[in-house]
Amino acid sequence: MKRRYAVTLLVLALAAGGVAHAQDRFPRPEFKSDYATPTLQVPNAPDSVYEFIDLGVLAAAVIAMSAIALKLRSRNAIFVLSIASLVYFGFIRRGCICPIGAIQNVTLALADPTYAVPLSVVGFFLVPLAATLFFGRTFCAGVCPLGAIQDLVVLKPIKIPKPAAAVLGVVPFLYLGLAVLFTAAGIGFVICRFDPFVEIFRFGSRLEILAYAGVLLGIGVFVARPYCRFLCPYGALLSVLSRFSRRHVTISPTECVECRLCEDACPVDAILPPAGGAAGGTGEPRRASVRRLTVSVLLIPLLMAAGAAGGKLLEGFFVRLSPDVALQTALAAEKAAGTADAAEETRLFRESGETEAALAARVDRTKAVLSIGSALFGAFVGLVIALKLLGLAVPPANTSYVPDRAACVSCGRCFRACPQEHVRLRGRINSPTSLE
């Protein structure tokens, strides 16, 4: 399979290089001395095996992290594993490929028939998702190098007012929607382009990105994990999956005694206090809460329709973000003004010899995708907002202090705040097994 693909690619490459190919046929110099023409040497690419090793390491790390967070309950072990992961996925593997970016590869594979997504990249996309369905966002706890690096600087976390957090919490979904839209439309991989920390991992030198990283890390001292909570598009996916995870980190190892000691322990404001009375209601009449729910449910199609209309309004803006469209516009403007090659971009376009028809075909494709895509994007944003409202309308059911499954990143900072944990640890220390 692999071989066949390679051959196809080569055939394509040769067909494309048909003219210049003749360049290779040329009279060889006739050396009278016994000079031997050296052969061109190029270094091998690192073996594909490494990508699968990475995938294995990723799976192992997520499973280990889950075990540590759910069973061992050791913040120190989580910390150590997150440092190891930061070093491996960040500084050794240089940040690429990561599950966040893999969203785009998967999208591109679905949108562009000429792109085939490698198996390992699919694996990177899928492994943390699957793990989250079982254990919650243990990937975020520190397997993700972006999470790990932000977690290092959480020194003085402050609480963000709930409504503000709710508004900003929509951003990751916006980002997710845009990333998918722009990938499908051929505008590019925005997640990778605006990956704040990759320049640090590569010891790179793009100043604007380094500044962005600096700002995020600076904010991150007070607002824990700003990228994870208010930007990360993969985090958006994980937060949805985590709500329905089979198991999840708990604050208390046994039973919550409602001592409220953990209330301020969470850097990402993910600890839910027990809801109202034991009945799980807020004390308001059932009828009222039913009405509220019904309204929220009915809001879903309404907001989606409104979102679709709003998205459609943004279509023109999205179209202008495409470099192909910008190039075509510049060419048309030059034609109208009669000044060829005024800009670097148009000059190079002419030099490249690409036809305007080929450019127009790409532009048309981009426009076609955006024509539907911008409405779908708007509808998606509408749906997200509607579901957030619905979430507010559903009465919380927890009867003790529990982590908010969507927001909790399993960092383990709350463990030690819980007196029950101290009981557990004392028990373990005194237990004969640990004396062995």
Partner 1 sequence: MLKENLVRIAAVLGALAALVALVTAFGLALAPRAQAKPEDYLAYSLEGLDQVPEDKILYREAEPVKVPAGADDSLAGLCLLPDGGSALSGGSSIFVFDRSRTLVRTFSVGAPAVALCVKPGTTPPALYVAMRDHLEIWSVDGRKLDEWTSLGEKALIASIAASGSAVYAADAGDKNIVQYDTGGRLIRFITLKADGGDSGFLIPGAYFDVAFGDGSLWAVDPGRHRVCKISPDGEILAAWGRTSAELDGFCGCCNPVNIALFPDGSFAVQEKGLLRIKLYDRTGAFQGVVAGPASFHPSVKSLDLAVGSGGTVYAADSHLKEVRIFTRKGAGR
Partner 2 sequence: MKSKKPGKNPKKKMTRREFLRVGARAGLALGAAGVAGGAFLRGRQTADLRWQLDPDKCIQCGRCATHCVLTPSAVKAVHAYDVCGYCELCSGYFKPNALLLDTAAENRLCPVSAIKRTFVEDPYYQYTIDTDLCIGCGKCVKGCQSFGNGSLFLQAMHDRCVNCNECAIARACPARAWTRLPASAPYMLKGKSRGSGDAKK
Q: Least distance from C-beta 23 to partner 1, angstroms?
A: 8
| 287 touches, from partner 2, partner 1, ligand SF4, none (C-beta below 5 to 8 Å by class) | none
CA atoms within 13 A of residue 85's CA, in its CB half-sphere: 33
The residue whose two tokens read 């969507």 is 406
Which CA distances in Å does 343 have to 233, 260, 336, 348, 352? 36, 64, 14, 9, 14
| 32 touches, from partner 1, partner 2, ligand SF4, none (C-beta below 5 to 8 Å by class) | partner 2
Q: How many residues bind ligand SF4 (CB under 6 A)?
A: 15
Among 26, 31, 35, 203, binds partner 1 (CB under 8 A): 26
Q: Least distance from C-beta 258 to partner 2, angstroms?
A: 18
Binding of partner 1 at residue 205 (CB under 8 A)?
Answer: no
Stretch that binds partner 1, among 95-103, 156-164, 405-413, 419-427 (CB under 8 A): 156-164
Q: Least distance from C-beta 28 to partner 1, angstroms?
A: 8
Task: Retrieve residue 341's tokens.
Answer: 């090659």
Binding of ligand SF4 at residue 327 (CB under 6 A)?
Answer: no
Are 255 and 418 spatial neighbours (Cβ–Cβ below 8 Å)? no
Q: Least distance from C-beta 124 to ligand SF4, angstroms?
A: 17
Measuring CA to CA, which residue among 52, 58, 45 is closest to residue 90?
Answer: 58
Task: Retrieve residue 318's tokens.
Answer: 């999205």
Binding of partner 1 at residue 43 (CB under 8 A)?
Answer: no
395 Cβ partners below 8 Å, 6+ apart?
A: 275, 276, 280, 281, 282, 289
Task: Report angle CA 186, 357, 315 to the nearest 5 degrees.
Answer: 40
Stretch that binds partner 1, among 3-11, 61-69, 106-114, 174-182 (CB under 8 A): 174-182
The residue whose two tokens read 């409405």 is 375
Among 62, 64, 97, 271, binds partner 2 (CB under 8 A): 97
Site string (116-145) toward partner 2, x via CB under 8 A: xxxxxxx--xx--xx--x------------
User: What angle do helix axes 119-135 and 233-243 make, rounded to 10 degrees?
Assistant: 40
Question: Measured on CA atoms in the order 279, 280, 283, 289, is the torsion positive or negative?
Answer: negative
Residues in 301-340 that interact with partner 1 by CB under 8 A: 317, 320-323, 325-327
Measuring CA to CA, which residue among 429, 403, 435 is closest to residue 70?
Answer: 403
- Cα(232)–Cα(230) distance, integer angstroms: 6
| 171 touches, from partner 1, partner 2, ligand SF4, none (C-beta below 5 to 8 Å by class) | partner 1
| 168 touches, from ligand SF4, partner 1, partner 2, none (C-beta below 5 to 8 Å by class) | partner 1
Q: Least distance from C-beta 149 to partner 2, angstroms?
A: 18
Q: Which stretches within 231-343 are classed as H helix?
A: 233-243, 286-320, 323-337
| 194 touches, from partner 2, ligand SF4, partner 1, none (C-beta below 5 to 8 Å by class) | partner 1
Q: How many residues bind partner 1 (CB under 8 A)?
A: 41
43 Cβ partners below 8 Å, 6+ apart?
A: none
Residues in 252-311 that interact with ligand SF4 by CB under 6 A: 265-266, 268, 270-271
Binding of ligand SF4 at residue 235 (CB under 6 A)?
Answer: no
Binding of partner 2 at residue 21 (CB under 8 A)?
Answer: yes
